[in-house]
Amino acid sequence: MKDGMDLTPQEIVAYLDDYIIGQHEAKKTIAIALRNRWRRLQVSADIQEEITPKNILMIGSTGVGKTEIARRAAKVKGFPFIKVEASKYTEVGFVGRDVESMVRDLVATSIHLVENEEKEKNKEKIEELIVERIAKKLLPALPSGVSADKKQEYALSFAKIKDKVRSNALDQQKIEIELHKKHLEGDFNNMPPEIVKVQESLIKVFNKEGEKVTKEMTIKEAKEALRHDVSQAILDMEMVQREGLKRAAQSGVIFIDEIDKIAVGVKEGGRQDPSKEGVQRDLLPIIEGSTIHTKYGPISTDHILFIAAGAFHLSKPSDLIPELQGRFPLRAELESLSEESMYKILTQTKTSIIKQYQALLAVEDVDLVFEPEALRELAKLSYLANQNAEDIGARRLHTTIEKVLEDISFSASEYKGERFQITKEYVSQRLQNLVDNVDATRFIL
């Protein structure tokens, strides 16, 4: 596959088809929205400022692929992406998370993304410096004034030690290693800027810059422990933070799940829930475009793409305040999963749950095999369970498969080196009671 940024909408949809069954219209809408973010960055600066993202409202039952479509599409394009739940936020002045924290979370995710990219670019250099620091601990430097012969002999020995460290031959040997003391850290992203400044001042008082601590550990552990120190020494962290802030502002995607949970709706007795409307009103300026202060600097939300999603079983999109409805001009409705969709999820997705369980049991040398008819039965009974109780979409497959494989998972060690075949009859036997018994079906949500 070519670089994610170069993918066309058709290629993004084709990629999503490997992981999510159906929902073509929703995939298409997301793919176009993400491609437009890339297109915008290619035009002249004066036009760039005028092109704002067209936010998307995804409507569909739980478990039909709303989050997965958005998450995987953003991931393949390399855009900073976070998922938040609307129901976790509270109106300003109430105890709980304020809506601005989602933007700070996006910035932190974006910076982490850029940092990982820079680490990957400098991977060989970082690994070589780690090896060198460990080798210096194993073979301390020669005192000054030694002869040229001694220096040459030392250089040869040092090279051999480095080779051994590099090849993991000394991984279990213990050494004392000096590491920078980690600063006290907290969840500053969710705090107002003025509180962050106070916290950072306290950190400077209690944690001196450059303070180190010596620890004893194996060389294998030391390699991992030194990675942070060496990366910080090599990478230009100011550049990383600047680029992360810029990328969050220009390419960031915030997925707001459960938006229907803050839809106002009229309660019994004709009353509305004012706190839900308060959260919507707090969301509005962020989605419309405003400047949020973070510990890394201010960020404008004008060009962040917002994707909201909800089942809207007990409310409808029109229950959202009109101003917020207007900020989500694109709608994508997702279909409920049919029995055939369930079967395709089991058999056609790239990392299907069947493949996952086969890989897990292969660890214990158990060859897990599903007969084709067994998979058909599993899809059928999972679909019926959704019809008889709450429809939780593809998530039902996780619970039904777990029930089918419960005994073999528990006693896997007894089947070591054997082939365990799952038949249609075995699936029926394990699941029929749950499908027939509505209360039991609800129990295995």
CATH number of the domain that residue 415 is part of: 1.10.8.60
Q: Which among 330, 255, 324, 304 is positioned nearest to 32, based on CA atoms? A: 330
Whether residue 220 sits in one domain with residue 128: yes
* pLDDT score recorded for residue 316: 84
Does the residue 14 lie in any domain? yes
Over residues 368-412, the pLDDT tens digits come to 899 999 999 888 888 888 787 777 788 888 888 888 888 888 888
pTM, 2 dp:
0.76
Whether residue 138 sits in one domain with residue 85: no
Whether residue 287 sits in one domain with residue 226: no
Does the residue 442 lie in any domain? no
* pLDDT score recorded for residue 306: 93
* pLDDT score recorded for residue 185: 45
User: How many distinct structural domains can be found in the chain?
Assistant: 3
* pLDDT score recorded for residue 382: 86
* pLDDT score recorded for residue 389: 74
pLDDT (average), residues 431-444: 57
CATH number of the domain that residue 270 is part of: 3.40.50.300
Give the pLDDT band (50/70/90) at residue 234: confident
Whether residue 107 sits in one domain with residue 250: yes
Whether residue 95 sits in one domain with residue 130: no
Give the pLDDT band (50/70/90) at residue 192: low
* pLDDT score recorded for residue 337: 82
Label the pairing between strands 212-218 and 56-59.
unpaired
Q: Which of 171, 204, 234 is the last residue of a domain?
A: 234
Q: How far apart are CA 205 and CA 174, in angstroms?
A: 33
Does the residue 440 lie in any domain? no
Does the residue 443 lie in any domain? no
* pLDDT score recorded for residue 443: 46
The residue ranking higher by pLDDT, 356 or 436, is 356
Over residues 153-171, the pLDDT tens digits come to 888 888 888 888 888 888 8
pLDDT (average), residues 83-100: 71
Give strand pairing partners of 93. none
Q: Which of 213, 234, 255 is the last residue of a domain?
A: 234
* pLDDT score recorded for residue 184: 40
Whether residue 424 sits in one domain with residue 351: yes
Whether residue 275 sits in one domain with residue 221: no
Task: From residue 333, give the alpha-carbon distance in Å to each of 28, 49, 59, 66, 309.
Answer: 12, 30, 5, 9, 10
Q: How far apart are CA 328 and CA 325, in angstroms?
A: 6
* pLDDT score recorded for residue 265: 56
Share of the chain above pLDDT 90, in %: 12
pLDDT (average), residues 335-355: 87
Does the residue 355 lie in any domain? yes
Whether residue 300 sits in one domain with residue 353: no
Label the pairing between strands 174-180 and 291-294.
unpaired
Q: How far apart are CA 377 and CA 91, in angstroms?
A: 47
Whether residue 89 sits in one domain with residue 71: yes
Indicate the range of 30-34, 192-196, 362-366 predicted with least confidence. Answer: 192-196
Give the pLDDT band (50/70/90) at residue 23: confident
The mean predicted confidence, pLDDT, of the chain is: 81
Give the pLDDT band (50/70/90) at residue 236: confident
Q: Which among 86, 83, 87 is positioned nearest to 109, based on CA atoms? A: 83
Structure tokens of 91? 């109106």
Gyration radius of the chain over CA positions: 27
Does the residue 441 lie in any domain? no
Whether residue 163 sits in one domain with residue 74: no
Q: 27, 74 in Cβ contact below 8 A? A: no
Whether residue 366 sits in one domain with residue 299: no
Q: How far apart are CA 445 and CA 443, in angstroms?
A: 6
269 pLDDT higher than 60: no
Does the residue 445 lie in any domain? no
Does the residue 273 lie in any domain? yes
Q: Which of 168, 203, 234 is the last residue of a domain?
A: 234
Whether residue 98 sits in one domain with residue 60: yes
* pLDDT score recorded for residue 186: 45
Full domain range(s) for residue 359: 339-434
Q: 267, 276 in Cβ contact below 8 A? A: no
248 pLDDT higher than 90: yes
